[in-house]
């Protein structure tokens, strides 16, 4: 049971390829057989493995997406399915699995670890930066770059036309993208899951800005957990407050594109650390960033969504958007 497998699970994020490359090359250099599993946990069930060599991961560090593909695999909630997954790993002599993904994927991996004695090391990979126990997740920085670049362009046309825009960014249960992008683009307001600002306040803010001569206003909305949030705010702002807005939904463009240096670098470091940690005999660990430093944390500390939103960020936004 001396081989290692690596997979990506959940939503993809720029930088995942750098993590895969790092795992494969570090693993091989440490003398392990390394297998890539296609389509996340689904590939564990359908036995979709490929033995990797050094050139399997050549020329991918700069590419978005994941060469191993990914999926959200509901079937993996079933213990019987996890049994099949463990068998498919063990029959190849794979004793350790590296999972690149979000906290939902970590929960699946944790079950495999507890039930079948497969050694698990996780690497946080999601554009949302919403995993407890780590200050950073791979993909966040690139997603911010993509969103900020788009919103700067929206600002140009908004100003030319004296318009207010609603811009919907990603973040199912986290406003980390929304608040960071809002501060970075000089947005006037932000609406996201952790925040309880009423639409009354949003409308009043925008109107105050217009009265003092602002030529454009931008409201950032985190998409939240149901589709069409941007549309419903647009409708309410018009019908309840007489405020006309244009809506732009950035959507999945935030998940693609060439990874930023920060994402490539973080992923390379985490991939290396993951293999080195397997070599030391570790299991049930996550490569994380804490106090700005790369280190390993217990998996149990990284299974939930982060809930350490700093309210000062909202104060900063409000103060600067006066």
Is 102 a known ligand-binding residue?
yes
Is 212 a known ligand-binding residue?
yes
Distances (CA, A) of 3 to 9, 41, 90, 196: 20, 18, 9, 49
CB of 308 to ligand F6P, least distance (A): 18
Residues at the site binding ligand F6P, with contacts judged by CB under 6 A: 11, 72, 102, 126-128, 170-172, 223, 255
Query: Between 128 and 263, whose beta carbon lies closer to ligand F6P?
Result: 128
Is 127 a known ligand-binding residue?
yes
Is 232 a known ligand-binding residue?
no
Query: Between 66 and 126, whose beta carbon lies closer to ligand F6P?
Result: 126
CB of 119 to ligand F6P, least distance (A): 26
CB of 171 to ligand F6P, least distance (A): 5
128 is catalytic: yes
Query: Between 14 and 102, whose beta carbon lies closer to ligand F6P?
Result: 102
Is 11 a known ligand-binding residue?
yes
- CB-based contact 43:67 (threshold 8 Å): no
**Which positions ≥6 away from 150 have C-beta within 8 Å?**
167, 248, 250, 253
Query: Between 11 and 65, whose beta carbon lies closer to ligand F6P?
Result: 11
Is 82 a known ligand-binding residue?
no
* Residue 25 in tokens: 């090359």
CB of 55 to ligand F6P, least distance (A): 30
CB of 250 to ligand F6P, least distance (A): 11
Q: How many CB atoms lie within 10 A of CB 47?
A: 15
- Distance, CA of 165 to CA of 319 (rounded, Å): 20
Query: Between 158 and 182, whose beta carbon lies closer to ligand F6P?
Result: 182
Is 216 a known ligand-binding residue?
yes
Select which of 128, 130, 141, 263 is catalytic: 128
CB of 48 to ligand F6P, least distance (A): 20
Query: Between 251 and 298, whose beta carbon lies closer to ligand F6P?
Result: 251
Binding residue positions: 11, 21-25, 72-73, 102-105, 126-128, 155, 163, 170-172, 186-188, 212, 214-216, 223, 246, 252-255
| Active-site residue list | 128
Binding residue positions for ATP: 11, 72-73, 102-105
Binding residue positions for ADP: 21-25, 155, 186-188, 212, 214-216
């Amino acid at each position: 049971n001396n081989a290692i497998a690596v997979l990506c699970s959940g939503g993809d994020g720029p930088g995942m390829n750098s993590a895969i490359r790092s795992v494969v090359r570090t693993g091989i250099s440490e003398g392990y057989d390394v297998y890539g599993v296609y389509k996340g946990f689904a590939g564990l069930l359908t036995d979709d493995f490929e033995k990797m060599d050094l050139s399997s991961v050549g020329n991918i560090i700069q590419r978005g997406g994941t060469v191993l593909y990914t999926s959200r695999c509901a079937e993996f909630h079933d213990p019987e399915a996890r049994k099949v997954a463990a068998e498919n790993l063990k029959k190849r002599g794979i004793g350790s699995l590296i999972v690149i993904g979000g906290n939902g994927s970590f929960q699946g991996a944790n079950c495999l670890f507890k039930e079948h004695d497969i050694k698990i090391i996780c690497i946080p990979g999601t554009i949302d930066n919403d995993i407890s126990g780590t200050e950073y997740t791979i993909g966040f920085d690139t997603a911010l770059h993509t969103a900020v670049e788009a919103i700067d362009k929206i600002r140009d046309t908004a100003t030319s036309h004296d318009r207010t825009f609603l811009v919907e960014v990603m973040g199912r249960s986290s406003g980390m993208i929304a608040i960071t992008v809002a501060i970075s683009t000089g947005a006037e307001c932000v609406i996201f899951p952790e925040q309880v600002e009423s639409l009354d306040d949003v409308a009043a803010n925008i109107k105050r800005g217009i009265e003092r001569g602002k030529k454009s206003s931008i409201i950032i909305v985190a998409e939240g957990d149901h589709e069409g949030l941007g549309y419903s705010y647009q409708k309410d702002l018009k019908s309840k407050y007489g405020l006309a807005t244009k809506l732009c939904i950035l959507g999945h463009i935030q998940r693609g594109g060439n990874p930023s240096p920060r994402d490539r670098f973080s992923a390379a470091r985490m991939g290396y650390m993951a293999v080195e940690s397997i070599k030391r005999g570790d299991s049930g660990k996550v490569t994380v960033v804490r106090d700005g430093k790369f280190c390993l944390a217990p998996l149990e500390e990284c299974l939930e969504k982060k809930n350490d939103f700093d309210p000062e960020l909202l104060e900063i936004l409000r103060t600067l958007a006066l």
